[in-house]
Amino acid sequence: MGHGRPAPHHRRLLPVTVTGLTTERRANPLGVDAARPRFGWQLASTANGQVQGRYQVTVGTTAGAADVWDSGEVASRASVDVPYGGPALAANRTYHWRVRVWDAHGRASGWSAPARFDTAPSGWTADFIGAPGTAGLDGASWIWYPEGDPAVDAPVATRYFRRAFDVAAPGRAVLVVTGDDTADAWVNGVKVAASRRVTDSWKRATTIDVTAHLRAGRNTIALAAQNTSASPASVIAKLQGAVTVPTDASWKASQSGSAGWEQPSFDDGAWPAARVSAAHLAGPWGNQVLVPAPAPRLGKTFTVGKPVARARLFATALGLHETYLNGVKVSAERLAPGWTDYTKRLQYRGYDVTAALRQGDNTLSALLGNGWYAGSLGFAGSRRYGTSPWYSAQLIVEYTDGTRGEVRTDGSWTWTSSPIVSDDLYHGEDQDARIAAGPAQAVTVHTGPRPRLVAQVDPGVTVRQELRPVRLTQPRPGVWIADLGQNFAGWNRLRVSGPAGTTVTLRHGEILNPDGTLYTANLRAAQATDTFTLAGRGVETFEPSFTVHGYRYVELTGFPGTPTVDSLTGLAAWTAGAETGTFTTSDPLVNQLQHNILWGARSNLLSIPTDCPQRDERLGWTGDIAAFGATATFNFDTHGLLAKFADDMVDAQRADGAFTDVAPDVLGWAGKAGWGDAGVIVPYVLWQRYGDLSAADRHFDALARWVDYLRATSGADLIRNQETYGDWLNVDDPTGNDLTSTAFFGWSARLVARMAAATGRTERAAAYHALADQVAAAFTNRFVAADGTVGNGSQTGYVLALAFGLVPPQRTQAVADRLAAKVASRDGHLSVGFMGVENLLPVLAEHGHLDTAYRVLQQPGYPGWGYMGARGATTIWERWDGIRTDGTLQDPGMNSFNHYGLGSVGDWLYRTVGGLGPAAPGYQRLLVAPKPGGSLTAATTSLATRYGPARTEWSRGGTGLTLRVTVPPNTTATVHVPAASAAAVTAPAEAVAQGWSGGAAVYALPSGSYTFTVA
């Protein structure tokens, strides 16, 4: 019963077909800038045991042609990342390719259906254009009442300010104002602005057109600024246009506002002069103030006078863009072109617009938003790269008569107003449907240095799912709360009708207060507020273009009438990688954990892997993806996003070799163990999970510099004791910085050695392997006691020692036993943080403590994943106790309810509980090794690999077990069937027995679908 029978004769095998053609791992891509594009395909067959023996690829200028390159018959099983081998490809050309294969028995498939790819343009000749500069605070100063040093500390109080000035001739004038903590403004006695009453409202200034309130002669501006806590306080403002009036020492200030203080006739002669606290962009406020500006619509009308054969548009922005041709968006992508370090690299995308052109007049246009370039970056400041966004595009039209024409952005373009009054990724978007486009005005051409342009690597962000409210409540008169049932990242579509000028305000939050109102304290300074002002034209639909929120609940105020569930739709957006994996079990607790892991990933993979999607952070924290990278590859295709992020990290790497704590780097912090190591871990994950060594090869010198930096910042004994964030958010079980820093030093050295060997760098591989061995020996000598205790006995100390191979084989079991005892001492609960969570259950399961691993996994109480689910979580929390056991909330200063880091256990779920993992990079060989345990009676796991769909399904009852396995064509699998002996297993005929080991019968299995049973 334990041995497979010989496979049926090969004559019974069915021929294969070829499907799933990709170029650079994308289907029919445009703008490929690789000199030797890589091709991929999948084999499909109804027969078991299909393996590719040879392939032939042809590339031509038309479908089915081979006039560019014919590989000839190549004896190889390769079907992923097969490089083009023909002559140099021309720029901006469409190439067609196809492939056929022969199976291991020499029988040919038919030719595949043709695929195509477009090469990138040869150069970027288009200008970057935008609207002329808008109102700002340049030249203004922060001022306060003359008491102490308000840039350091000021009392809780409201202070009042006035400035009289003369206007010779009224004209357009705009007032920009903000105050720490709030600022309200009056012009000639009329209140024109009031700060939003939210945390750190001063970080978003108010911009108001005050033209109608000015008059010839004497005018007065009055400001009331409130300091709500003992902290720095000041107000800053600037009137500009017909007259310029900045806040400075010429303003008057008062501690009290007596009746009529804001009126022009008020006598402020007794008020002292205001004190200047700091210049604009200085003091404690720095560059953190965002001045809202309208989003312009840029456009150009051109004529097409003859039949079009082919047209390609290439577009990008320093900021964000939505591009239209003849009023229709050219793509469903949002937040394009994503976030990079714009001083070093800017992505563009190509579009096939052949069918969108028409004879006669055509209009190419774009909405232009601030995005990461000119908007807020939360606590990292505002306008880090520029003060306003810029757009660039070039349209290349080829006619049927062989001629061509181009339309590119330049000074001939014009701009008009759009309904978007202001936009910011963190603070929200304001739209006013009453705003007309107005007369076209000349654009401004950007004259500064332009970044290096590259074809977009990641698939971009799109709306992936729509969510309807599951309930509507009204906690207060005029205040409605829509519960969308799921925490996610995205925005809303609002449908509403009402009188012109009605403004509906939408605020966003993850949870509710006990009274049912919206809880926003944990958003910190992110205002996450959208406003929509109606035009009064029946049912109107609003949707923001250039903002994103992390939320489950939406607060609606100002809604005319009573909203219904049809009034609001949540639009969940994430990176546009295809759904790839599924995982389900017999335990609702584990299924909820998988749900939370999936939605945590969806919410935080938008252009870069972020820490959280809701508060004033949302940065590319490297430590989070270092832990979560392997898990991220399972649920949907993150190859492009991770490849882009590898580039982002290298762009941010310091000259001394240190990788930064966030990428793109906007904080200037670097060199932390477990964080900077992501620069090595992400390329390694790309290799192991996708079979793609290109990032490791392209960036190898950068990876080596990181390890060299670790060596240079370690002691002579190879113990590295440097500042780090440590085992972030552990449960009262800290691990020493010297232990964690040395452990990650050894791990990065080991991974770099493996990637050196895989990329043919033999000598460097030997050198880094030797270094990794030396670090492991130093780690054991310093931190591992004779009885197996590691460091101070923290769970994470044990986990790192085992997971990173830092303990000699003869001593690992003692260390694992100590870890299991430590878990038992906490009544089967974990105490790890970000550094230990990924590998806690794997090292327990791999060293004879599977029961302990399942006990931790299925814990319903705190701390554990089940506790989050029991508290209503629909994503992974930042903290194990975001909501404490007594129902109170953790510190709002750091309490995200959508943080994927602690969900890194997902990789173990898929590989060990489900039993589906890679035995060779990219799943060219599968390891099917489920380890049932705990109370689970069944689990099903599926994954769309580059070779085709793989699947495992097991169920058990009593002493019996059934395991069903699907292995994609052109791959093989090693299958471990849990059993008391090999004789207890009934295997399919195609399975070749390999013996029994570690509680499982082992088989080699070809492609196909099979069933194993255990008596």
CATH number at residue 715: 1.50.10.10
Check whether residue 696 and residue 723 sit in a common domain.
yes
- Domain boundary, last residue among 575, 598, 613: 575
How wide is the angle at C-alpha 570 spanned by C-alphas 569 and 575, nearest 5°? 140
Same domain, 891 and 996: no
Q: Describe the crossing of helices 639-652 and 622-635 by its angle, rounded to 10 degrees.
A: 160
**DSSP annotation of 956:** E
In whole angstroms, what is the distance from residue 397 CA to residue 761 CA?
45
Q: Classify residue 168: in a domain, yes or no.
A: yes
Q: Residue 493: which H helix or E strand, with range?
A: strand 479-496
In degrees rounded to 5, what are phi and psi of residue 240? -145, 155
Active-site annotation, residues: 617, 878
Model pLDDT, residue 5: 37
> Which pLDDT score is estimated for 706?
98
Q: Are residues 666 and 795 in the same domain?
A: yes
Report yes or no on 129 lying in a domain: no
Residue 1008 located in a structural domain: yes
Domain check: are 474 and 421 in the same one?
Answer: no
What's the rounded Cα separation, in Å, for the pair 276 and 266? 23
Residues 603 and 612: their CA atoms lie apart, in Å, by 8
Last residue of a domain, one of 72, 87, 119: 119
Q: Give SS3 for 846.
A: helix
In the chain, the amino acid numbered 301 is T
Q: Are residues 230 and 309 in the same domain?
A: no
Please report, for the chain, how many H helices and E strands are present, in that order.
Answer: 15, 57
Do residues 617 and 524 share a domain? no
Where does a domain end: 559, 575, 591?
A: 575
Total structural domains in the chain? 6
Residue 146 domain flag: yes
Say whether both 799 and 936 belong to one domain.
Answer: no
Q: Are residues 809 and 877 in the same domain?
A: yes
Return all residues near 308 (Cβ < 8 A) that are at least 6 apart. 354, 357, 397, 398, 399, 400
Distance CA 591, CA 562 (A): 37
Q: For strand 182-187 and strand 420-424, is the pairing parallel, antiparallel, or unpaired? A: unpaired
Residue 698 is predicted with a pLDDT of 98
Tens-place pLDDT, residues 382-398? 999 999 999 999 999 99
Record the tokens describing residue 791, joined without a space. 């460091």
Q: Report d(CA 291, CA 383) in Å as an integer.
A: 9
Dist CA 183 CA 203 (whole Å)? 11
Give the tokens for residue 946: 């580059």
Tokens 């097991």 belong to which residue? 954
Q: Which domain holds residue 345?
A: 293-445
| Any domain includes 95 | yes
Distance from chain centroid for Cα 836 = 22
User: Is 981 part of a structural domain of the chain?
Assistant: yes
pLDDT for res 6: 37
* Rounded distance between C-alpha atoms, residue 222 and residue 243, angstroms: 16
CATH number of domain containing 97 = 2.60.40.10
Together in a domain, 662 and 723: yes
Distance CA 899, CA 834 (A): 11
Running along the chain, 1015 residues long, what does each successive block of 10 average in pLDDT?
39 75 98 97 94 98 98 98 98 98 94 98 96 90 97 96 95 94 96 90 91 95 96 97 96 97 97 98 94 95 98 98 98 98 98 98 98 95 94 98 97 96 96 92 94 96 98 98 98 98 97 98 96 97 98 98 98 96 98 98 98 97 98 97 98 98 98 98 98 98 98 98 97 98 98 98 98 98 98 98 98 98 98 98 98 98 98 98 97 97 98 98 98 98 98 94 98 97 97 96 98 97
Q: How far apart are CA 296 and CA 119, in angstroms?
A: 31
Same domain, residue pair 480 and 360: no
Q: At what angle do helices 678-690 and 639-652 cross, to 10 degrees?
A: 160
Residue 681 lies in a domain: yes
- Beta strands 453-455 and 346-352, pairing class: parallel
Return the pLDDT at 7: 40
CATH at 323: 2.60.120.260
Give yes or no: residues 227 and 317 share one domain: no
- Statement to judge: residues 372 and 520 lie in one domain: no
* CA distances from residue 506 to 378, 470, 486, 568 in whole angstroms, order as listed: 20, 17, 17, 10
Residue 959: what pLDDT? Answer: 85
Give which of 25, 35, 39, 28 is closest to 82, Cα–Cα. Answer: 39
- The string of DSSP letters for 336-351 reads BT----TTT-EEEEEE
- State the CATH number of the domain containing residue 969: 2.60.420.10
Asked if residue 668 belongs to a domain, the reply is yes
SS3 annotation, 655-675: CCCCCECECCCCCCCECCCCC
